Structure 1
Amino acid sequence: MDEEQSNKKKLSLTALILMIFTSVFGFANIVRAYYLMGYASIIWYVLAAVTFFLPFAFMLSEFGAAFKDEKGGIYSWMAVSVNPKFSFVGTVMWYASNIIWMVSTGISIWIPLSNGIFGVDKTQQWSFLGLDSVQTLGLLGAIWILFITVVSSKGLDKIEKITNVGGVAVALLNVVLILVGIFILVLNKGQMAEPVTVASFVKSPNPDYGSIISVFSFLVFAIFAYGGLEIIGGLVDETEDAVVNFPKGIKLSAIVIAVGYAVGIFIMGIFTNWSFAFTEFSAADITLGNVAYVAMNNMGYQLGLALNLSDSVAIQIGVWMGRYIGISMFLALTGSFFTLAFSPLKQLIEGTPKEIWPKKWTKTKNGLPVHAMYVQAFVVIVIILFVSFGGKGAKEFFEIIISMTNVAVSIPYMFIVIAFYGFKKKEEIEKPFIMFKSKNGYKYVVAMVTFVIGFANVFTIIEPALHGRYDETFFSILGPIVFSILALLTFRRYEKKMEKNEIN
């Protein structure tokens, strides 16, 4: 029995929305979209929102309201709607991808922090006790994971305070982008840095996105930009007045995130001429990893020029804007970390039958499976240290692991959508909140979202092969197969254990 279960503090609607923001909204996705396709990216982000994100969010709203007292999140939803075995396979696959996210982000989170402190990324120069930069970042990542786990284990109220800061940081980034962008537009008397034409919203200025195959690859990028909403499934039982607040929180967040992406991409054109910034200065080693910092630095610089300040002062404004985004993204990633440190594991451990796991793992403290959280931290730390200290072979191994989870990260969305079909068909399930009210309308929505996710996954698999990266395609296929077999074997062991107990 959980300690002080009845007196445990619940999440407010505001706290829930901020957690959703830290889990889903990626400010860098705005800049990356503009970097890759200019204004033309807007239509694909809107298409991804309409065909995947919004209907998927509405499905989660119905699920959450119906299973408001369930602790297991997506596992519980799928188990009741379809069956436990189906649910276990999807949940294990989804959980594995979150582990890899914690590993990669635990190592890379220091890049935005370095930008926040120094105005540029200096992580490649960091060294501690004779360790090289990669080993130093690995050691910092291991310490970071331990810190996150210790603080998270103190309870949801501690997590809420930190994710609130992360959520506010994410929201403010978009507000700053919009307000500063409009201010620059006013100062420049309505002159956009990137001219607005009908063609610019249809055709990308980037020659790399001139073929239908490359455009499809961007659609996949746009779909994945909306990932992460299902993580909040484990918070239904932790939310105040869940029947009302959980669907409301998801709906509001989904709409604001979708609109935020589209508006943010358009605002980029106010102060960033695509050809000048990203073609002529391509020698500046702009990548998808650092383009957000470069773009915000440019926004500060353009603000200085619009104010008729000297070039040196404008450069300094750009540096400070780069520092601001560095700190903001560090806080946002920190908020995501605190949510991911417990929510996926909570859904995996508390939703599934207790007999699957060692007894210690299922015990809760402060409303969380604390022992399992420390086991999770140990696994993540071991992988981080192996990758950081293992040399070239370890890095290649980690690249293989990432390839294996590329598809596994989104296949569980298909599991959830298919489970929603079963959920709607089962009239015995009480549904206090209904978004899809038409008797057969939900079937078309399920078919559409399943097709979109399926297309994204198939294209993610074949796209590397089209460019000669056959090993990446192979491991993308292998990943879901391995995770499915692992889940089925684990569940079969549980079934045999139950059968043995019944006989005895």
Structure 2
Amino acid sequence: MVETTNNQKKMTWTTLAMMAFSTVWGFGNVVNGFVYFDGTRVIFSWVIMFLLYFVPYALMVGELGATFKNSEGGVSSWVNATMGAKWAYYAGWTYWACHVVYISSKGTGGLRAMAWGIFGNTKWYDGLPTAYTQLATLVVFLFFCWVASRGIPVLKGLATIAGSSMFIMSILFIIMMFAAPAINPHASYYSLNFNWKNLMPTFNIKYLTSLSILVFAVGGCEKISPYVNKVKDPSKNFPKAMMALAIMVMISAILGTFAMALMFDPKVVNNNLNEYISNGAYMAFDRLGEYYHVGGLFMYIYSWCNVIGQFSTLVISIDAPLRMLLGSKEAANFIPKKLLKLNKHGAYINGIWMVVILSGGLIAIQAFVPDAQTVMAQLVKLNSTTMPMRYLWVFAAYIALRKHQEQFETSYQMTKHQGLAYTAGYWCFLVTAACCLLGIYSPDPFTLFLNIITPIVLIALGLILPAIKKREMAKAE
């Protein structure tokens, strides 16, 4: 629904809420929450995370987007305007560096989805030596790096189609799962027990070190910031859209968790954690097909949607964050000239080589992991500790914006109360930082090593590049 005002098309708040929902939420978030937090015990954590983290986060993004409505660089532009060019470079670097791990996981996830789509299970794939599966992942990764270097645009359209279909599948799963007992009452379901014990989490080391999974799940709403001023009456309707988004995500998380609880016993999940982290979503759709007497139909549809989604996202994740980092105004002052080189297709070819070395190195080092399921579980955990680091810059930019608010005009403010604004900014910053740090811990020594060394290498490289640039400029004088 779109309304026209002063010859300009303005979105209704309901349209924005639906756009944001499809951007932020996915079925994988439901599965990860169920697997990591003992089934229905995740519900308490979801509700707290939405109310105390997601809602203020979304409203802060709205204020930043409304204030810097003409900035196309997203978070880096906000940091540049509020904190200066050098901090903007570091924000851009963090955003790019987080995608190094994400890129590795897309290749692995795409091959796993393909195995489900071809064989209907991953017994053969998981039975291969890890060196073979990682070699295949490396070949796929290098192929899509080549695709990114050729500037082939078709995959961006595929990513949109795949993203929309995955979103529809996620909603359909919940609806169809709750309808299944009426359609096939004689199938095996687990009973839902709503007592306090089954809804309250156990606050232990496992719980605290898994919170980054939930932060990772609800993050990313800064992607919708360009649309703040495209909404009719943003000061009134944007917060309404964000509250609707939070309610939709919360309902989806809770109902999705209950749907999973009808299918899977948390005790069995806990005893086979890596298998459910790697294959939980496919197993859920496979079982749904059994309830509806259509075999693996739903699982095959979900698998091939995921193949397209994983591989098209892989190309976009190689290309888009690199363009945001190297194409920004700040890049020329902090990044060595060689990295800014464009090939004839308009791709940052040396930047792509940097991705090849870093993401390719991560893929190669995981060849020493026992099996393909462990690789996938490691990457999910590593993503949950690295990806939320980029959200820190959203909160830093918001705190800086409120500190210098007299310098900027805006059509929307989360709150006019400065103390409340600062409290929200610092609270979300500290929660994100704490979850990232706690998420590093793992009882597995190799996973712990990866969780520590990966951020160190990426942060060190981000600090080294400006130093190289400084020497480069000194030589030129």
Calculate the TM-score normalised by the size of structure 2: 0.77
CA distance in 2, matches of 1:274, 1:125: 23
**Shift of the alpha carbon at 1:255?**
5.0
Indicate whether 1:423 and 2:401 are aligned: yes
> Structure 1 residues 364 and 423 mapped into 2: Cα distance closer, same or farther (>3 Å)?
farther
Deviations 1:160-203 (A, max 9, x none): 53232122112212222122112114336799733232325524
Q: What pairs up with 1:112-131 in 2 under 5 angstroms?
A: 112-121=113-122, 124=125
Cα pair 2:402 2:422 within 8 Å, conserved:
no
For the 8 Å contact 2:75–2:393, the answer to whether it is kept is: no
What is the CA deviation profile of residues 401-450 of structure 1, one whole-angstrom value per residue up to 9, with x for unaligned ones?
97987644323322321221111221212222323333332112112212
Give 1:45 deviation, angstroms: 1.6
Asked if the contact 1:23/1:336 (under 8 Å) is kept, the reply is no
Question: What is the CA-CA distance between 1:143 and the residue it aligns to?
Answer: 1.7
Paired with 1:392 and 1:345, the residues of 2 have a C-alpha distance of 26
Distance 1:360 1:336, change over 3 A: same
Aligned to 2:438: 459
Deviation at 1:109?
0.9
Contact 1:39 1:266 in 2 (8 A): yes
Q: Per the alignment, do residues 489 and 114 of structure 1 end up closer, same or farther by CA in structure 2, a change over 3 Å counting?
A: closer
Q: Could you say which residue in structure 2 is the equivalent of 1:63?
A: 64
Amino acid at match of 2:416: K
> CA offset at residue 53 of structure 1?
2.5
8 Å Cα contact 1:59/1:420 also seen in 2: yes
Aligned partner of 1:207 in structure 2 is none
Superposition pairs of residues 158-307 of structure 1, within 5 angstroms: 158=154, 161-187=157-183, 193-199=190-196, 201-203=198-200, 210-230=202-222, 232=223, 236=226, 242=230, 251=242, 256-269=248-261, 271-274=262-265, 278=269, 286-301=275-290, 303-304=291-292
- Correspondence for 1:82: 83
**For the structure 1 residues 476 and 352, does the alpha-carbon distance in structure 2 shift closer, same or farther, using more than 3 Å as the test?**
farther
Cα 1:70–1:473 shift into 2, 3 Å: same
| 1:379-415 deviation line (CA, Å, top 9, x unaligned) | 444556666678956999x99x979876443233223
Contact kept? 1:173, 1:328, Cα under 8 Å? no
1-structure distance, mates of 2:32, 2:256: 11
Identity of aligned residues (%): 18
| CA–CA distance in structure 2, aligned partners of residues 35 and 262 of structure 1 | 14
Residue identity in the other structure for 1:290: N
What residue in structure 1 maps to residue 4 of structure 2? Answer: none
Please list, as runs of the form range in 1=range in 2, the aligned pairs for 1:27-38 lying within 5 A after superposition.
27-36=27-36, 37-38=38-39
Letter matched to residue 32 of structure 2: R
Q: Aligned AA for 2:265?
A: W
User: How far 1:338 moved relative to its partner?
Assistant: 4.9
Q: CA deviation at 1:321?
A: 2.4
Alignment correspondent of 1:333: 310
What TM-score does the superposition give when structure 1 sets the normalisation length? Answer: 0.74
Match for residue 378 of structure 1?
353
Q: CA deviation at 1:358?
A: 5.7
- 8 Å contact kept, 1:93–1:408: no
Q: 1:348 to 1:389 in 2, by over 3 A?
A: closer
| Contact in 1 for aligned 2:98/2:390 (Cα 8 Å) | no
- Where 2:347 maps in the other structure, the secondary structure is helix
- Structure 1, residues 453-494: CA drift from partner, whole Å, max 9, x if none? 122123123x32xx373x755664555454444333433555
2:135 corresponds in structure 1 to 135
Gaps spanning 5+ residues in structure 2: where? 1-8
Where do 1:360-379 residues align within 5 Å? 370-372=346-348, 374-379=349-354
Aligned to 1:350: 327
Structure 2 CA distance, aligned partners of 1:202 and 1:192? 19
**Distance in 1 (alpha carbons) for counterparts of 2:398 and 2:228:** 24
* Structure 2 counterpart of 1:441: 420
Residues 89, 330 of structure 2: 8 Å contact kept: no
For the residues of structure 1 that align with 2:266 and 2:127, how far apart are their CA atoms? 34
Q: Report if the CA contact (8 A) 1:94-1:410 is conserved.
A: no
Distance in 2 between residues matched to 1:263 and 1:486, nearest whole Å: 43
Residues 257 and 496 (structure 1), Cα distance of their counterparts in 2 relative to 1, 3 Å cut:
farther
**How far apart are residue 268 of structure 1 and its match?**
2.2
SS of 1:342's partner is: helix
User: Where in structure 1 are there 5+ consecutive unaligned residues?
Assistant: 1-9, 205-209, 305-313
Which range is displaced more, 134-143 or 15-24? 15-24
Aligned to 1:487: 462
Q: Distance in 1 between matches of 2:220 and 2:136?
A: 29
CA RMSD of aligned residues (A): 4.4
Distance in 1 (alpha carbons) for counterparts of 2:204 and 2:255: 25
The answer (yes or no) to whether the contact 2:80–2:87 under 8 Å persists in 1 is: yes
In the alignment, the residues of structure 1 paired with residue 16 and residue 141 of structure 2 have an alpha-carbon distance, to the nearest angstrom, of 27
Alpha-carbon offset, residue 16 of structure 1: 8.7
Residues 166, 302 of structure 2: 8 Å contact kept = no
CA, structure 1 residues 318+283, in 2 after alignment: closer, same or farther (shift >3 Å)?
farther
Letter in 1 for 2:178: I
Cα offset for 1:35? 3.2
Q: Secondary structure at the match of 1:182?
A: helix
Report the 3-state secondary structure (helix = DSSP H, G, I; strand = E; otherwise coil) of the residue aligned with 1:440.
helix
Determine if contact 2:289/2:295 at 8 Å carries over to the other structure. Answer: yes
Give the structure 2 partner of residue 411 of structure 1.
389
Query: Deviation digits for residues 182-225 of structure 1, max 9, x if unmatched?
Result: 21143367997332323255246xxxxx4522222343321222
Q: Which amino acid in the other structure matches residue 436 of structure 2? A: N
CA 1:34–1:393: 2 relative to 1, 3 Å: closer
* Aligned pairs, number: 453
